[in-house]
Amino acid sequence: MMLPMIGIIHTGSGAHPDRYDYLPMVGIMVAAIWSSVAWSKSSHFRKRALLLTTSVIVATLVPISRNQASTWKDEEALWHRYQECVEKDPGDHKKTGTNFLSNGDLEGALKEFRAALSLDPQNPKTMILVAQLLSIQGSKKEASDLYRENPRD
C-alpha cells in the first residue's frame, strides 16, 4: 500500500498517487485521536483546549470541503476546475467540447472546440469539428473557409 506512495512502484502517470494514501491515513488519524484523548484526560484545561482546537479545525474544514465537493458535482464542473488549475491544453478543450456535444449543447461544444483550435490552429480534426458545428448552426461561409484552410487536403 505504501510502495506507490513513496515512489518505489509506479502505477500510472502520477508521480506519487494520493489514492494510496487513504488507508494508511486511517491508522495515523486513529493514533492522533487516541493520543489527543489520552493527553486531555489529565486536566480540565486540556479538555477545553482539545474541544476548542477540534471546533476550530472542523469549522475551518467544513466550508473548504463543501466548496471542493461542488467541484465534483458533475463531469462538466470537474473539467472546468481542471482547466483552471492546469496549463492550457487543446486536448482538454476537445474533451470538454465532446462532453458538451454528447449532452446536446452545440454552443458549449463550439466554444470549447474553438478554444482548442486557438491553442493548436493547424489541427485538422479540430478544424473539421468546428466547421461541422458551424455548418449545423447555419454559418456556412465560416465553415467553408475552415474546410478550405484544413491542412489535411
Grid coordinates representing 65?
470541503
Task: Give residues with Cβ within 8 angstroms of 93, minimum separation 6.
Answer: 83, 112, 113, 115, 116, 119
Task: Give residues with Cβ within 8 angstroms of 30, minimum separation 6.
Answer: none
Residue 117 pLDDT level (bands cut at 50, 70, 90): confident
The pLDDT assigned to 135 comes to 85
Cβ distance 53 to 33 under 8 Å? no
**Distance, CA of 101 to CA of 108 (rounded, Å):** 8
Percent of the chain with pLDDT over 70: 84
Grid coordinates representing 47?
479538555
Structure pTM? 0.49
Higher confidence at residue 30 or residue 151? 30
Task: Give residues with Cβ within 8 angstroms of 109, minimum separation 6.
Answer: 97, 98, 100, 101, 133
* pLDDT mean over 24-52: 92
Q: How large is the greatest C-alpha to C-alpha distance in the chain, in angstroms? A: 81
pLDDT tens digits along 46-103: 999 999 999 999 999 999 999 888 888 887 787 778 777 777 778 888 888 888 888 8
**Distance, CA of 130 to CA of 108 (rounded, Å):** 12
CA end-to-end distance (rounded Å), the chain: 52
Task: Give residues with Cβ within 8 angstroms of 31, minimum separation 6.
Answer: none
**Weakest-pLDDT range from 15-24, 109-118, 132-141:** 15-24
